[in-house]
Chains A and B, each alone.
Chain A
């Protein structure tokens, strides 16, 4: 029992050290990822969550619940990472994107991103204020359920 626990613990730490090391680049090893930094206004801020970087297809938000994990090699797949209530990193292998660009976004785009982040959250969704009208209308926080592949 103790051996199992110690071994898992040890291999987990080795994996963490490897994944965080300079020579490990999980994304660029497979595809040529492109980066957008989206900027919004304080009236409709981004949320964040405890599982923000889960790959997803932004055109299929309702399917996140029951579908597998899409690969970042698919140009329709995005990875999100909000860096403040006003700024969010989006990564995709979409060839029509430039390598790196800043872009202002519309209210509807922010709401779609927030909806994706809320669905992906494991336990916590973090808001910059008690204003929670930051999601697509169909998405109800109290009806969120666990994902097949979180």
Chain B
């Protein structure tokens, strides 16, 4: 199951530590083995497997984690199954003007296509979020080397940091419904309304038969 990072790997990889084995509470022989494999991962492995020291606030303890499992969640931005008739209906409802008013700037043509064509479930991660992360990732060497950047590049930094606040699971869990419950409620009401109409139409046509 793919994990989506809400702190990009391009940032997290710089926190990788060759000494992460020191926080593992195991006998010294095992620590040596972990230290050796960690060195190997950092020198030859994928950044996702690099070790990192993490303090778990809930468990109140230090752990040796990997970049792949840090600040990430399974399928955080995986789009739902748009082959589902109900979901396609929701997509079509979103094309209404009053909803567009609510989500100014959103590409509804692209969203409509999601309902009728086969869909890459990693679409959001690869396009909307991926593009922003890629643009920001290109700036990282400049920022870390204390280089000047242009006003367009400053705008990318601002967009990236603002989005950092929205993309975390905490925001979804805690603030998403506060911010968008009106829209969700309105969509549900419209679906209820439409299903009533469909039901009545069906009953009328059945009665005629």
Residues of A that sit less than 8 Å from B by CB: 2-4, 6-28, 33, 35, 37, 39, 48, 50-54, 79, 81-87, 89, 91, 99-100, 102, 118, 121-130, 132, 141-142, 144, 150
Is the beta-carbon distance between B106 and A14 smaller than 8 angstroms?
yes
B42 at the A interface (CB under 8 A): no
- Across the interface, A121 reaches (CB within 8 A) one of B53, B57, B151, B174, namely B57
Is the beta-carbon distance between A83 and B77 smaller than 8 angstroms?
no
A-B contact pairs, 26 of them (CB 8 A): A2-B86, A4-B188, A10-B87, A11-B180, A13-B77, A14-B111, A15-B166, A19-B162, A19-B163, A20-B132, A21-B106, A22-B131, A23-B105, A35-B154, A37-B143, A50-B6, A84-B14, A118-B55, A124-B56, A125-B55, A126-B15, A127-B52, A128-B14, A130-B22, A130-B62, A144-B57
Question: Which residues of B sit under 8 angstroms from A3, Cβ to Cβ?
Answer: 86, 188, 191
- Across the interface, A126 reaches (CB within 8 A) one of B6, B53, B164, B172, namely B53
Is the beta-carbon distance between A25 and B162 smaller than 8 angstroms?
yes
- Across the interface, A127 reaches (CB within 8 A) one of B15, B79, B111, B159, namely B15
Residue of A at shortest CB range from B168?
A51
Is the beta-carbon distance between A79 and B11 smaller than 8 angstroms?
no
Residues of A contacting B: mostly: mixed
Q: How many residues does chain B have at the interface if contact means C-beta atoms less than 8 Å apart?
A: 76
Residues of B that sit less than 8 Å from A by CB: 6-7, 11-12, 14-17, 19-20, 22-23, 52-58, 60, 62, 70-71, 77, 79-80, 84, 86-87, 90-91, 94, 103, 105-107, 111, 124, 128-129, 131-132, 140, 143-144, 146, 148-149, 151, 154-155, 157-170, 172, 174, 176-177, 179-180, 183-184, 187-188, 191
- Across the interface, B52 reaches (CB within 8 A) one of A10, A15, A20, A126, namely A126
Is the beta-carbon distance between A50 and B158 smaller than 8 angstroms?
no
Instruction: State the CA gap A88–B52 with chains docked (Å).
Output: 18
- Across the interface, A89 reaches (CB within 8 A) one of B6, B157, B188, namely B157
